[in-house]
Structure 1
């Protein structure tokens, strides 16, 4: 998985690929990266079947905690999530990656979804406002560990599709890896471009990939 990098902890999206957007033989898609302090779109939620599983930042998922998954916001970011329809709101902390269905912008914990009274509906039109965000561009953590970023271009259920995408990317990027993971939903082949020393550089490449190939990349943070 780490392609030779002496990784102590890899914050990859493992359990989330089961939950949303990973159906059929195509790749998972995401919305364009955001750089503003607010965003509006559709929220979904995930709950009991993921309780106790590791989130993308390494901590166990607690369905009762007020947390959420977002594709690009740094872990630890505090976000106000407000229902456009009812005005109900909840503040969550980002500790996971997702969602992976086009058009959805955040996946809430069960506890956070209850605050918005959206459990029965499953989704809710929401407005996100970033309240507090840790620095995400230095490539160095306070404990001395270093951070690098990969851009996950796409994820496929068939190896031939993944190899084809890797060959297309090879004419534009020199460092491309193909990783395979076995999940309860099946085997997934992930095509990733890297590595980048800051989140901003990774976002720039992700946006270029989106424009060039009509893809919806997501960022993967690697700590070592």
Structure 2
């Protein structure tokens, strides 16, 4: 092949790529359920922890002519809206922070949260809760605030309806807190955050006496995070969590490996 022909061929390839649609990198045109679904009963919520922001996916960006701002350095975030889910079309392709999307993992996409982030998602229609790791961008549809993986949507009972009204809560951990509390394979229940040390001490003592478990609090930036534990068994922590959530509905489990 002559140099002229080689350059002509390369130009043609680049032209076709430039004219193709943004979805041309995907194997399927439309998203859909997987045809071969592995057992998902063993898939558990992710364990929220400190992670540095990824090198990719954390700059402000534009999609379909609309600008989106990434919320960097936040420690609290709550939002209500509709959740949707995404599946087979995107499975195995790169997420916004450079990882591979796995529809059978407990992950999600959000338009503004820093990557990665951990959020608690509550289905307001059935009160089911999950914890997912946000590593992607989307959904870019009016009114939708989070796109769940197939596994996460199944556990939240969103697959059939396609969408559900939810509330999401950011679960933030600082590097110092994560290092200072790096207990070996133990589980804790975090149930409240307060800025009042006397309140933290009083509530912790009362709940400890009531449930007959140890209580502690972690101080971070003038905030006191109240926790119960440690528990060596995740089943024990899960059983007690249901009891704690009767008075503290936003309580959740922390697994320190």
**Which one has the largest radius of gyration?**
2
The normalised TM-score by structure 2 is 0.40
Question: Which structure has the highest helix share of the two?
Answer: 2
Higher relative contact order (Cα pairs below 8 Å, separated by 6+ residues): 1
Question: Which structure has the highest strand share of the two?
Answer: 1
